[in-house]
Amino acid sequence: MFGHGTPPALHLSAMPELPEVETIRRALEPQLRGEHLVDIEVLDARIVQGDADLLRGEVLGRPLVDVGRRGKHLLLLLTEGKGIALHLRMTGALLLSEPAHSSRVRAILRFSNGAQVFFNDMRRLGTITFVEDVEAYCRRLGPEPLSDEFTAESLARRLAGRRIPIKAALLDQHLVAGVGNMYADEALFLAGIHPLTPASSLSHCQTVSLWQALREVLCRAIADQGASISTYALPGGEKGTAHERFNVAHRKGQPCPKCGAPLQRLMVRKRGAYFCPACQPLAD
């Protein structure tokens, strides 16, 4: 996909977030639902959190009732409330056919209908975890931003008393699950909020704007099948197009789509933040 030789430059801030994982979920669900796993071939033992034999013993042969997601975690939901959590981290991809760079495949999941899912992962940080109780696992992952439980009021409650920059707060998965660097920047731009604004200092109006903006950027990116700035691809190998509509993310120096001012990038707790200095002023 990237030709031979040097791997593509990796954008640390372009790892799969909620829209990318949701796109993968939607592509895999019709292929896998109702089937069962017949084999998990582990090519890199570090990918399995816990014991690989225990994982196989618990999941092989158990019907897969659905393919779910919470935040950035893809969940293969099995009977009796058990499941398998797949976390792609930086460069993980789930592909339905063997990729050209087969040395990057860390595990192969084989299903009763012959479907195979290749866990491809250049940086080798992704994980496969057996989950005894999916409900409890999801509760620990923080609120799902596209669910009814995530309201402007619940966001305000979680921001209250937190003096960290709002950009850093949005990356805290316990505040809201699934938002990463790209969509946090996009949401802050839509809401007109500077990334360094202390989380606890947002006005009610700003909090409502941010809540709306988060849902808007995530839904729009799902409709565009995710952002392929880095290694992200759909299970069939196609790229998403969400990045083509980004207003600020990865657009340093380009004109702001609202006011024309050059977009800037600053560091917030070691992560780059893209923003418009005119549309997202920092209050005194």
Active site residue 17: yes
How many residues are listed for the chain in this entry?
284
Cβ distance to Zn ion smaller for residue 83 or 272: 272
If binding is defined by CB under 5 A, does position 263 make contact with Zn ion?
no
Which span (40-48, 108-116, 118-126, 274-282) binds Zn ion, by CB under 5 A? 274-282
Provide the mask over 222-261, with x wherever binding to Zn ion is found by CB under 5 A and - wherever it is not. Answer: ----------------------------------x-xx-x
Bridge partners of 95?
Answer: 118
Cβ distance to Zn ion smaller for residue 74 or 256: 256
Active-site choice (17, 20, 22, 58): 17
- Spell out where 71-161 has E strands: 73-78, 83-87, 92-95, 105-111, 116-121, 127-131
**Residue 233 to residues 103, 177, 200, Cα–Cα distance (Å):** 17, 21, 36
Active site residue 110: no
Task: Specify the 3-state DSSP secondary structure of 149.
Answer: coil
Contact assessment for residue 109 and residue 40, using Cβ atoms and an 8 Å cutoff:
yes
Give me the least distance between CB of 257 and Zn ion, in Å please: 8
Active-site choice (70, 72, 158, 167): 72
Cβ distance to Zn ion smaller for residue 175 or 256: 256
Record the tokens describing residue 205, joined without a space: 């109006």
Q: Compute the distance between CA of residue 275 and CA of residue 213 in angstroms, rounded to an integer.
A: 14
Record the tokens describing residue 253, joined without a space: 């120096």
If binding is defined by CB under 5 A, does position 276 make contact with Zn ion?
yes
Active site residue 16: yes
Active site residues: 16-17, 72, 271
- Which residues contribute to the site for Zn ion (CB under 5 A)? 256, 258-259, 261, 276, 278-279
